[in-house]
């Protein structure tokens, strides 16, 4: 920083003053320093390369600019005739080579550090799904899903979004090309970077992440940790982070994974180890209570009103991303449920697809993701909403019976 301020004073260049701000990490113009040793080293390596590249740019572009002025036809009417110089050519092959070696050395060291996942204190399995994450703590026997918490109507700025070329062109023209949608909404600072259940890790501990995926390739990326790894079905990739500062760190899925790729954030809460232990204990207690509740609920029966109300809520949270709040889906990839054969046909078929999913499509097996009560409410809702007036009620016990019959 002081070196840079001296430089700035020395050259007195406007450009450099903004550069200072960049390298002092005061602005959003540069990579972030992050909160792990790895992210910090990557940040310093990055800054260092940027500076070298800027110096090369000044030399090369400076020479070009000078030449364009000094060797224009006006200033230099008679061109020189030379067409090669072996010495020069060797020189400018050798210099870049040396510069690259200078970069290769620290890069190699840092890479080896990043690949060293040995002796970790805690292991977390991160699994990508279309479009949410599942975090499992195998040693703590905990696992849960984590999905976007920003409500859909916060990001939909328009009363109707186009899904065909003709409609798209129409909407853009109607929107005055760059005009807003017709119902812009307030966006908070954590807009699209907030989730229902955060990933919680202890600070100061070496946390190893085992990264994989259920359906397509996703990528787990937390910029503040300096780690990004693809989540690939059938593969388990390893990365690690030792977070130095408690706090909330936000990232996003970084590999195109289908329709809602832009809507699968990652939020990590790093806490003191004691707090982490307390969190684990509390989670386990919650899990026990939830299991009891579920067992109790599974044994009780609900009224149509209760199931429809819960069902609508659960449907919107879990199913509407694909099948749409209107039940119209986005056919043919995401079929409509309104009037669908499955949602108005025999209950068993409906239970089957919700519980077991459909291989090779985005329809996941929700049997393990939702409680019997949730499944019962969703199925009841789907069978009675949007004109699917089957009048049929599915109770948690039906769900349990179907699962056991399997």
Partner 1 sequence: MGAHAAHDHHDDHHDHKPTGITRWLYTTNHKDIGSMYLWFAFAMFLTGGFMALLIRAELFQPGLQFFEPSFFNQMTTVHGLVMVFGAVMPAFTGLANWMIPLMIGAPDMALPRMNNWSFWILPVAFLMLISSLFMSGGGPNFGWTFYAPLSTTYGPPSTDFFIFSVHIMGISSIMGAINVIVTVFNMRAPGMTLMRMPLFVWTWLITAFLLIMVMPVLAGAVTMMLTDRHFGTDFFNAAGGGDPVLFQHVFWFFGHPEVYIMILPSFGIASAIIPAFARKPLFGYASMVYATASIAFLSFVVWAHHMFTTGIPLGGELFFMYATMLIAVPTGVKIFNWVATMWKGSMTFEAPMLFAIAFVVLFTIGGFSGVMLAMAPVDFQYHDTYFVVAHFHYVLFPGAIFGTIAAVYYWLPKWTGHMYSEGLAKLHFWLSMIFVNLTFFPMHFSGLAGMPRRIPDYNVMFADFNMLSSIGAFGLGLTQLLFLWIIIKTIKGGPKAAAKPWDGAHGLEWTVPSPAPYHTFSTPPVITDENAHS
Give the binding site for Cu ion (CB under 5 A): 218, 253, 257, 264
- Asked if omega into 3 is within 30° of 0 (cis), the reply is no
Contact between 202 and 112 (Cβ < 8 Å): no
Nearest to Cu ion of 202, 251 (CB atom): 251
Q: Is position 358 an interface residue for partner 1 (rule: CB under 8 A)?
A: no
CA dist 228 and 211 (Å) reads: 10
Closest approach of Cβ 346 to partner 1, in Å? 27
Residue 332: cis peptide before it, omega within 30 degrees of 0: yes
Nearer to Cu ion, 41 or 230 (CB): 230
Question: Cα separation of 219 and 401, whole Å?
Answer: 37
Which residues ranging from 77 to 116 are in contact with partner 1 (CB under 8 A)? 77-85, 88-89, 92-93, 96-97, 100, 103-104, 107-108, 110-112, 114-115
Give the Cα separation of 107 and 105 in Å (integer). 5
Shortest distance (Å) from residue 133 CB to partner 1 = 15
The pair of three-digit structure tokens given for residue 290, joined into one six-digit string: 């939830």
CB of 131 to Cu ion, least distance (A): 6
The site partner of 177 among partner 1, Cu ion, none (C-beta below 5 to 8 Å per kind) is partner 1
46 contacts: CB under 8 Å, gap ≥ 6: 30, 31
Does residue 378 contact residue 314 with C-beta atoms inside 8 Å?
yes
C-beta of 301: minimal distance to partner 1 in Å?
38
Could you say which of partner 1, Cu ion, none residue 325 binds, taking C-beta under 5 to 8 angstroms by partner kind? none
The binding track of 285-324 with respect to partner 1, each residue x by CB under 8 A or -, is: ----------------------------------------
- Please, which residues have CB within 8 angstroms of residue 214's CB and are 6 or more apart in sequence? 127, 128, 129, 130, 134, 233, 364
- Determine how β-strand 237-241 pairs with β-strand 227-231: unpaired
Single residue of 121, 238, 244, 312 touching partner 1 by CB under 8 A:
238
- Sign of the torsion formed by the C-alpha atoms of 355, 361, 363 and 366: positive
What part of residues 196-225 is at the interface with partner 1 (CB under 8 A)?
Answer: 215-217, 219, 221, 223
CA distance 282 to 326: 37
Report the C-alpha gap between 116 and 31 in whole angstroms.
23
Among 128, 202, 251, 329, binds partner 1 (CB under 8 A): 251
List the single partner that 30 binds among Cu ion, partner 1, none, CB under 5 to 8 Å by kind.
Answer: partner 1
Give 216 or 336: the residue with its C-beta nearer to Cu ion.
Answer: 216
Instruction: Return the one option of partner 1, Cu ion, none that residue 223 interacts with (CB less than 5 to 8 A, by type).
Output: partner 1
Q: Taking the complex as a whole, how short is the minimal distance between the CB of residue 252 and Cu ion, in angstroms?
A: 8
Task: Using the minimum distance from each CB to Cu ion, give the nearer residue, 218 or 350.
Answer: 218
Contact call for residues 237 and 229 (beta carbons, < 8 A): yes
For residues 144 and 366, which CB has a smaller minimum distance to partner 1 in the complex?
A: 366
How does DSSP classify residue 237? E
398 binds, among Cu ion, partner 1, none (CB under 5 to 8 A by kind): none
Among 25, 237, 356, 390, binds partner 1 (CB under 8 A): 237
Our CA angle for 322, 325, 327, nearest 5°, is: 75
Distance separating alpha carbons of residues 138 and 142, to the nearest angstrom? 7
Nearer to partner 1, 61 or 288 (CB): 61
Q: Which is nearer to partner 1, 181 or 273 (CB)?
A: 181
CB of 213 to Cu ion, least distance (A): 8
Closest CA to 207 of 273, 275, 111, 120: 120
Residue number with CB closer to Cu ion (219 or 351) = 219
Running DSSP on this structure, what letter comes out for residue 148? B
Find out whether 362 and 329 touch, Cβ atoms under 8 Å.
no
Q: From Cu ion, partner 1, none, which one binds at residue 404 (CB under 5 to 8 Å depending on kind)?
A: none
Q: Are 102 and 233 in contact (CB under 8 A)?
A: no
Q: Which does 37 bind (CB under 5 to 8 A by kind): partner 1, Cu ion, none?
A: none
- 223 token code pair: 């910029």
Q: Phi first, then psi: what are they for 221, rounded to 5°?
A: -140, 120
Residue 58 binds partner 1 (CB under 8 A): no
The interface region with partner 1, picked from 63-71, 284-292, 339-347, 380-388 by CB under 8 A, is 63-71
How many residues form the binding site for partner 1 (CB under 8 A)? 116
- If the CB atoms of residues 61 and 341 are measured against partner 1, the closer one turns out to be 61
């Amino acid at each position: 920083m002081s070196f840079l301020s001296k430089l700035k004073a020395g050259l007195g260049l406007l450009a450099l003053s903004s550069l200072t701000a960049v390298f002092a990490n005061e602005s959003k113009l540069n990579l972030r320093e992050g909160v792990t040793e790895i992210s910090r080293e990557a940040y310093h390596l990055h800054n260092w390369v940027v500076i070298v590249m800027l110096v090369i740019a000044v030399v090369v572009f400076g020479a070009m600019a000078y030449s364009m002025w000094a060797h224009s036809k006006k200033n230099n009417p008679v061109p020189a005739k030379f067409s090669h110089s072996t010495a020069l050519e060797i020189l400018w092959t050798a210099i870049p080579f040396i510069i690259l070696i200078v970069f290769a050395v620290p890069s190699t060291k840092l890479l080896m550090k990043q690949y060293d996942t040995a002796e970790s204190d805690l292991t977390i399995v991160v699994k990508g799904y279309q479009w949410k994450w599942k975090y499992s703590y195998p040693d703590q026997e905990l696992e849960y899903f984590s999905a976007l918490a920003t409500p859909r109507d916060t990001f939909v700025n328009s009363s109707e979004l186009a899904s065909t070329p003709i409609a798209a062109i129409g909407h853009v023209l109607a929107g005055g090309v760059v005009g807003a949608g017709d119902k812009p909404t307030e966006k908070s600072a954590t807009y699209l970077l907030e989730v229902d259940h955060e990933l919680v890790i202890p600070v100061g501990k070496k946390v190893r992440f085992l990264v994989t995926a259920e359906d397509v390739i996703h990528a787990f990326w937390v910029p503040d940790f300096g780690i990004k790894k693809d989540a690939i079905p059938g593969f388990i990739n390893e990365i690690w982070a030792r977070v130095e500062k408690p706090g909330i760190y936000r990232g996003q899925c970084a590999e195109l994974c289908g329709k809602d790729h832009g809507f699968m954030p990652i939020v990590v809460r790093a806490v003191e180890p004691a707090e982490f232990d307390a969190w684990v204990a509390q989670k386990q207690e919650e899990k026990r209570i939830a299991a009891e509740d579920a067992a109790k609920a599974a044994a009780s029966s609900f009224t149509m009103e209760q199931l429809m109300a819960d069902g609508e809520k659960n449907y919107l949270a879990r199913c509407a991303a694909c099948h749409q709040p209107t039940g119209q889906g986005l056919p043919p990839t995401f079929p409509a449920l309104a009037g669908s054969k499955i949602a108005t046909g025999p209950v068993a078929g409906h239970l089957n697809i919700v519980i077991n999913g459909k291989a090779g499509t985005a329809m996941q097996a929700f049997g393990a993701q939702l409680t019997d009560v949730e499944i019962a409410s969703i199925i009841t809702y789907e069978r009675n909403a949007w004109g699917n007036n089957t009048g049929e009620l599915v109770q948690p016990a039906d769900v349990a019976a179907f699962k056991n019959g399997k």
